[in-house]
Structure 1
Amino acid sequence: MKTSQAHLFIIDPQNDFCDLPGAALPVAGAQADLERLARFIRTAGPALARISLTLDTHQPLDIAHPGCWQQADGSPVAPFTQIHAADLAEGRYRPVAPLSPEHARAYLEALEAGGRYTHMIWPVHCVAGSWGQQIHAPLAAALADWQQQTGHTPFEVIKGTHPWTEHYSAIQAEVPDPAAPETLPNTALLARFAGSGPILVAGEASSHCVKASIEHLAAHLGAEARRLVLLTDCMSPVAGFEAAAADLIHHMQSLGAQALSAQAALALLAED
């Protein structure tokens, strides 16, 4: 594996996921994760041949935000409520226009059939153009310096703009819509992983967007999933979902991928 062709893949390193004042969906440890990642980039420098990063990007009206749902009595649905297809069928929750009952039912059934996630109502987060949608400042500065140093530009992927499907994964939406190209497999992003050396993975949250992205990427890579290196101290899970993050590590290791600290990854890059 040519470590001189290392590719850093950063998933959703945004203010709204950092444990910072004003963050909409803070993940405990995320600020320290991204500061550690910024130091890693500054130290690794040109050893990183490519950097790709994703930005979760929503409008306030979104299938996973409270404004699209009501309880049976018309009262609001609180963030961190899980909604099953059975809840809809039994009238415990109902969609609010413009989310139609037909789409809501089909979506929940398809999501559950996929076996990856139960539909979660999240706080309104990463709204397009907001402070919360922006890259955490220390990491943004490190990326700008890497660009100046190497002459390369990080490849940015905007995900989550389609309001009627959850888009945890950078590769594709949880329930793709053939009529919405932004929900289908991102072939431009997938092409960037061809022919690279180790694919170093960091970002937030390890229980959701990192997990979904890396599971999809590993499936695409097949036997080449062994090139994945999860920077375990540059990602953290949403509280209450620690087991999902642990499952990700174990599953990737079973495919031959590595789980390393940022410091150990620097040693890996120094092998060439």
Structure 2
Amino acid sequence: MAHPVQLLVIDPQNDFCDLPTAWQPPHPLTGARLAPALPVAGAHADMQRLAAWISTQGAAIDAITITLDTHQRHDIAHPNFWCNAQGAEVAPFTPITASQVRAGTYRPRHANSLPDVLAYLDALEQQGRYTHMVWPVHCEIGHWGHNIHASVAAACGAWQIQHQRAVTHILKGMNPATEHYSALQAEVPDATDAHTQLNTHLLAALDSAQVLLVAGEASSHCVRATTEHLVQHLPRQRPERIVLLTDCMSPVTGFEAQHTAFLAEMQARGVQLACSSQIRL
């Protein structure tokens, strides 16, 4: 079924939003507030703008797809997977290269995984898209941080009632051996795991759009990787039908240059850039 106007929301999750204290509930076991694990500066306001836009323009939106970064505690991008030469856990926001692992600066905690880890890092670096990064433990499946920002969830719930149609949810990142920024394909696909390979079913669904609006977090990583794969793999191509809602996305702190380069590259390839306030469907 064709859906002429579609909205793709990349990872609008609590762990990526700089939520104010009032939005952070107490942990039921400890009573401590559940703070976002990897907050992106500006993301809370991004998601509030997106929710408001969905609420006002929802009647004209034919389909909504939400992707969810989905990890377990054990993951190649989490600190507990790694240790340094002294055996101590590696700190979040540590980039790790294959040469550092070969030199013994960093190593996986399970020595038996070393060959696979090196093969992964070599493949990742050969692509030239990203250097492997150790992130704080984030978006654990079943945890509060994995949940969708409350404003976006409420707006999408109202849209479902209005249209009598479900939102499509796409989980990505469950394979602990590869990073999965893009909603369409892991950074290094695993030949034995179909969930890491190119998601042709999702591509076909998005390809039915005449207008495909994209929002979410973070513009320096998951929005960027997904949009790049959209431009590369949409069967009917025509990147001009993709619209990036630039006031509904923000970069990870320290990766602002990647955000700027991403927007410039996509615009050069025909993708449209617009603020949500400019889009009236």
| Class of the TM-score when normalised by the shorter of the 2 chains | over 0.9
Cα-to-partner distance string for 1:201-252 (whole Å, 9 max, x where unaligned): 0000000000000001110137411111000000000000011111111111
| Structure 2: gaps of 5 or more residues | 22-34
1:195 Cα offset (Å): 2.6
Give the SS at the match of 1:109.
helix
Counterparts of 1:232 and 1:29, CA distance in 2: 12
Counterparts of 2:112 and 2:195, CA distance in 1: 19
Counterparts of 1:98 and 1:192, CA distance in 2: 42
Counterparts of 2:208 and 2:176, CA distance in 1: 34
Residue 224 of structure 1 aligns with which residue? 238
Counterpart amino acid of residue 85 in structure 1: A
Counterparts of 2:185 and 2:112, CA distance in 1: 21
1:152 Cα offset (Å): 1.5
1:257 Cα offset (Å): 1.3
Residue 208 of structure 2 aligns with which residue? 195
Counterparts of 1:95 and 1:45, CA distance in 2: 47
Indicate the larger mover: 122-131 or 218-227. 218-227
Counterparts of 1:98 and 1:237, CA distance in 2: 34
1:194 Cα offset (Å): 2.0
- Which one of the candidate residues 138, 150, 157 is aligned to 1:144? 157
- Which one of the candidate residues 86, 106, 109 is aligned to 1:73? 86
Cα-to-partner distance string for 1:113-140 (whole Å, 9 max, x where unaligned): 0110000000000000000000001110
Counterpart amino acid of residue 47 in structure 2: L
Counterparts of 1:39 and 1:55, CA distance in 2: 20
Cα-to-partner distance string for 1:87-107 (whole Å, 9 max, x where unaligned): 011110011127700011001
1:240 aligns with 2:239: no
- Which one of the candidate residues 128, 133, 136 is aligned to 1:115? 128
1:155 aligns with 2:154: no
1:110/1:129 CA distance change after superposition, 3 Å: same
Q: Report if aligned partners of 1:201, 1:230 keep a CA contact under 8 Å in 2.
A: yes
User: What is the TM-score normalised by the length of structure 1?
Assistant: 0.95
Counterparts of 1:93 and 1:164, CA distance in 2: 16
Counterparts of 2:111 and 2:60, CA distance in 1: 48
Counterpart amino acid of residue 269 in structure 2: L
Counterparts of 2:252 and 2:154, CA distance in 1: 25
Taking the TM superposition and a 5 Å limit, the aligned residue runs for 1:33-182 are 33-97=46-110, 100-182=113-195
1:18 aligns with 2:32: no
Counterpart amino acid of residue 116 in structure 1: R
Q: Report if aligned partners of 1:68, 1:99 keep a CA contact under 8 Å in 2.
A: no
Cα-to-partner distance string for 1:117-173 (whole Å, 9 max, x where unaligned): 000000000000000000001110000000000112111100000000000000000
Residue 197 of structure 2 aligns with which residue? 184
Q: Report if aligned partners of 1:45, 1:146 keep a CA contact under 8 Å in 2.
A: yes
Counterpart amino acid of residue 247 in structure 2: D
CA RMSD of the aligned region, Å? Answer: 1.4
Counterparts of 1:100 and 1:205, CA distance in 2: 30
1:37 Cα offset (Å): 0.3
Taking the TM superposition and a 5 Å limit, the aligned residue runs for 1:23-34 are 23-34=36-47
Q: Report if aligned partners of 1:63, 1:99 keep a CA contact under 8 Å in 2.
A: no
Counterparts of 1:46 and 1:99, CA distance in 2: 54
Figure out how many residues of one structure are paired with residues of the other and give that number: 265
Counterparts of 1:223 and 1:179, CA distance in 2: 28
Counterpart amino acid of residue 263 in structure 1: S
Counterparts of 1:251 and 1:7, CA distance in 2: 22
Counterparts of 2:261 and 2:245, CA distance in 1: 15
1:252 aligns with 2:252: no
Give the SS at the match of 1:236.
coil
| Structure 1: gaps of 5 or more residues | none
